[in-house]
Structure 1
Amino acid sequence: MRRWMVCCVLVLAGCGQVTPGEPAEVVRGPDGRFPPPIPNPSLSYDKYLTRPCELLSREQLMSIGIITDLGRPGEHPLLGPECRWTADRVADTGFSVLLMSKGDGLRPAYKSRNFGYFAETTIGGYPALNTDNKTPTGKPTPVGTCDTAVGIGDSVAFTVAAHGHKPHPDYEEPCKASDKVALWVLEKLKAGS
């Protein structure tokens, strides 16, 4: 019993204040059902809620094979506004960006974990998840489709979905494609333009 108490005291002694700029361990619940805190300044996408297709530039879209599609805005009934782009060639990759203004950030994804693929990552220093909605759950790798959800505030997130097709390399590694576009969106939000 005494040994246990000494260990507790040592652990608690190490829980002092964190110096700004120093890395700190992320503490979560015992089952990992909560997203990590946002380590950087919160961002807003409010100015894009009515114009989500402006989150990606023509140059960025052209670099990923989307030449003629200017984007089709829409509204996910449960989550918020989105924009979809289709690649010019059928074998290339299509993308969508969803601003989850009606959601609760990354929390629902962490709570349900009802995805074929589920992996934590970071995009530009912000917590993110790579998932897909395919079955069975617990797949080691996604194929064809990947959703990259990025937390940019306590209850604020956006998602970039990549839909790859054979024989394009994005089909085998769709999260690389969605991560790349998610970083572009994040950079746009950081710039505030």
Structure 2
Amino acid sequence: MLNKINKIIGIILLLLFLVGCGKKESKTVNYNDKRAIKNLAAQLIDKEIQFIASGNFSSERTKSIVAGTEVSVNNRWGISFTLIEKVDDEYKEVYNTGLLEGSFDKCIVDKMKLSSFKGEMIYYNSRDFYLGSGGGDVFLYIINFSKKEIYYAHLIVQKSAGVLLYLSENIEDPMMRKFFIRYFKKDYSTLRIIKSDLL
């Protein structure tokens, strides 16, 4: 009788062990540790990470990571941002902006919050990287990951045409529109807003 009970207990323990081994171990990263989230992003994206941030980008309840990379290969260059989230106990790329005009050299990039939008967003400003004595360009982006939208302003400085500002057509929020215009008006009070981009 005792031998039978030992066999049953042994079988139950073996089954529990096998079931436990079959489960994937859930990886969790400390979102406040920049080095840890940068390493995670580098493993997933397989490119050099130029910018990293954690926050509530896709919703107010979901913690996620945004990684920025710079691409300069085969006459294609620019920047892109990737949203990384935990899906079914694994971290995955869930959205990528695609290639945007810009460089991480001398830029300003950070997360931001506007009261009229849900979740945090990424703000990018190329500053004077593309400006020279003969003119140039300034690119500003606000990336809304919850809506998968990229709002942008492109300032063009030309000796012949003056200072022109293009605002992307998807900017419907008056607060965001004012944000872009006010930013450039402080340095270029005579700028003209144009309806199509000159890229």
Same fold per TM (> 0.5)? Answer: no
**Structure with the larger RCO, 1 or 2 (CA within 8 Å, 6+ apart):** 1
| TM-score, structure 2 as length reference | 0.27
Higher helix share: 1
| TM-score, structure 1 as length reference | 0.28
